[in-house]
Amino acid sequence: SQQGEEDPQALSIQEGENATMNCSYKTSINNLQWYRQNSGRGLVHLILIRSNEREKHSGRLRVTLDTSKKSSSLLITASRAADTASYFCATDKGGSEKLVFGKGTKLTVNP
Amino acid sequence: DTAVSQTPKYLVTQMGNDKSIKCEQNLGHDTMYWYKQDSKKFLKIMFSYNNKELIINETVPNRFSPKSPDKAHLNLHINSLELGDSAVYFCASSHPREGGSPLHFGNGTRLTVT
């Protein structure tokens, strides 16, 4: 069954604003990953946060993880039109377990 | 220079036909996957191979058969295609899953069954 659930399903903002997407999951995880998918393309890995980490940064991306609430958030600061894409969280229980993806948040950044 | 490449990009065929999708990765990864993305963007794993051996086989109809001739290739053959098979199929690869290696995806094959 599906593990991650992102919200909102869709988000529309103006260039320069920050975008926040949330992901909730149900079972214990080893790590959580965020991916971006541009229209008509494959998913691209953005950032991985391990279960013993609370926050991680990569450029304009900031990811937080709250294992007590089983939730994660992805913040994109100073958004650009090129950030327009769908963003997916994926949970990893570790070992040879499969990576399970949520349904994604569709982000539109208007110029 | 494409890391994970899959062909064809588009596949339009009629119900009942048999078709194959090919995937190759030049990243030296040991593990390869097939994912199916439906019209609502939900991405679900179908199969996973590690060094040519099947390690994940989700509840997928027997009409779907993966084949891995070597660790750089994972092909997907689909028999007796049905309307419900219409979707985008993604190939991906990674280092062994332990340690949380991220997945590298191809650009997908959009399959349309008419």
Cβ atoms of residues A107 and A83 within 8 Å? yes
Q: What is the pLDDT of residue B98?
A: 61
Closest CB to A86: pick one of B41, B104, B106. B41
Tracing tokens 């110029």 back to the chain, one arrives at A111
User: Which residues from A are below 8 Å from B3, CB to CB?
Assistant: none
HSE value, Cβ hemisphere, 13 Å, CA-based, for B44: 12
SS3 of residue A38 by DSSP: coil
Q: What is the pLDDT of residue B76?
A: 97
Tracing tokens 């988000």 back to the chain, one arrives at A11
> In this predicted model, what pLDDT tens digit does every residue of A76-96 receive, in sequence order?
999 999 999 999 999 988 766
Would you say how long chain A is, in residues?
111
- Percentage with pLDDT > 90 across chain B: 75
CA distance A105 to chain B (A): 10
Average pLDDT over residues A48-71: 96
Interface contact flag, B92 A42, Cβ < 8 Å = yes
> In this predicted model, what pLDDT tens digit does every residue of B4-40 receive, in sequence order?
999 999 999 999 999 999 999 999 999 999 999 999 8
Calculate ∠ Cα B79-A103-A70, nearest 5°: 130
> In this predicted model, what pLDDT tens digit does every residue of B82-94 receive, in sequence order?
999 999 999 999 9
User: Which residues from B are below 8 Å from A92, CB to CB?
Assistant: 97, 100
Confidence of residue A38 (pLDDT cuts 50, 70, 90): very high
If one counts every other C-beta atom within 10 angstroms of the C-beta of residue B16, the result is 10
**Among A residues 55-94, those touching chain B with beta carbons less than 8 Å apart:** 86, 88, 92, 94
Among A76, A92, A95, smallest CA distance to A36 is for: A76
Q: What residues contact A54, with CB distance under 8 A and at least 6 apart?
A: A64, A65, A66
Interface contact flag, A33 B56, Cβ < 8 Å = no
